[in-house]
A and B are shown apart, each in its own frame.
Chain A
């Protein structure tokens, strides 16, 4: 057993999840491939969304993969960082908007 939870080398082994359950893995990877193909959104736009989501879910593997992918798709460093800010703004906003709930409750409880 390795002594860290995350190992960068594991990213390359993503496909190995098929070893324990091939059918579902195949379904997932087919779906994944189709999701990221050029569609109503460009592959470049999808990659940038993935980068933002990777930061929201704080997945180091996804951050690694989509930093490379966005660079390869010619996304600029400013655009990449703005995408991270979008993730941060939504996360921050999601906390703060619950402040209204807190206020409602506080107002209900206090004179």
Chain B
């Protein structure tokens, strides 16, 4: 399934302002406004939301991807042209050099499709930082050149985090496209063969589960044991941890929610499942997110919604300043309910 991105289809929902308007108005046929996220934060004594520091430097190196998954919050796909240039990467490295942020999390799109990807990873690795790459797995099987990625990852001590919505083909392909499950299994075998996910190898391979539909993820621990048992039994695949992520009601997942008639129930359920403990642990409190063109955001979701860091903080990587950024307030809106429902949700799974 290679479908068009919202952007190239000229869909209204490709526009961040339109998405925010949808999230801030009552659903069709109702006059009922959902409570404001900031009011919920205030009830939990968390408003304004403040950072606890910067532990993770997340770089989105572009929206280009070999897939067009139905739930994608980036609206990534083969038709996107926004890709981080080398000079912006140089600015990222410069910012890292002047800080001691321990973890660099590289995402996309399919980050490996950025022509400067390998160079960037090598540079960050040589600075002694922990490098995470959000790899969609299928890219490894896309052609011969990408087939050398597992060895490249291993050589650079890359911690791999990969989406696999389910341990069965049907549910995975419905969300990520026909044949994705099979190619993901093939890629996981290649990674396992090199030592990834194997005990004692030091090469970490974590998987990400997100529901293939308009429902919430269940408890992380029990899903992890299901994944481990089933992937081992049917495919001989090993991995380290499973992160459980709630689908964010923005971009293509928002389109799916509206088209399938699930939007209002899903939003209501997110609001009703607001958990103050999860809110206290949201990832924006220890993350800074850099876009392909060098702008700074509180998280990758805010980045996609064009909600920049607060005006009193540096807004571009060329002005990066850890202290000023640590003193900022975090920009929140109605989509933030996606991070605070139940056990919470972040790039590293549950937060509460």
- Give A residues with C-beta under 8 Å from B: 42-44, 68, 71-74, 76-77
Contact = CB atoms under 8 A, between A and B. Distances in A.
11 contacts: A42-B222, A71-B213, A72-B211, A72-B215, A72-B217, A72-B218, A74-B222, A74-B223, A76-B168, A77-B170, A77-B171
A87 to B, nearest CB: 22
Interface in B207-239: 209, 211, 213, 215-219, 222-223, 226
B170 A73 contact: no
Given A42-B222, A73-B222, A74-B223, A68 B215 contact: yes
B218 A73 contact: yes
Minimum-distance CB pairs A-B, first 5: A73-B218, A72-B218, A74-B223, A71-B215, A74-B226
Mostly, the A contact residues are: helix
Q: Identify the interface centre among A43, A72, A77: most chain B CB within 10 Å of its CB.
A: A72
Contacts of A74: 209, 218, 222-223, 226
Contacts of B216: 72
A44 B222 contact: yes
Contacts of A71: 211, 213, 215
A77 B166 CA distance: 12
A74 B227 CA distance: 9
Contacts, number: 26
B269 to A, nearest CB: 9
Contacts of B223: 74
A76 B165 CA distance: 12
A8 to B, nearest CB: 9
Nearest to B342: A72
Contacts of A43: 219, 222
Contacts of B213: 71
A74 B170 CA distance: 14
Contacts of A42: 222
Contacts of B222: 42-44, 73-74
Contacts of A44: 218, 222
Given A71-B215, A74-B218, 15 more contacts: A42-B222, A43-B222, A44-B222, A68-B215, A71-B211, A71-B213, A72-B211, A72-B215, A72-B216, A72-B217, A73-B222, A74-B222, A74-B226, A76-B168, A77-B170
A30 B213 CA distance: 30
Contacts of A77: 170-171
A44 B170 CA distance: 21
A43 B209 CA distance: 19
Contacts of A68: 215
B232 to A, nearest CB: 16
A44 B224 CA distance: 13
A77 B215 CA distance: 14
Contacts of B209: 74
Contacts of A72: 211, 215-218
Contacts of A73: 218-219, 222
A72 B219 CA distance: 8
A72 B213 CA distance: 10
A73 B209 CA distance: 12
A61 to B, nearest CB: 14
A68 B213 CA distance: 10
A50 to B, nearest CB: 14
Interface string B80-124: 000000000000000000000000000000000000000000000
A43 B96 CA distance: 45
A76 B171 CA distance: 9
A60 to B, nearest CB: 16
Nearest to B244: A74
A10 to B, nearest CB: 14
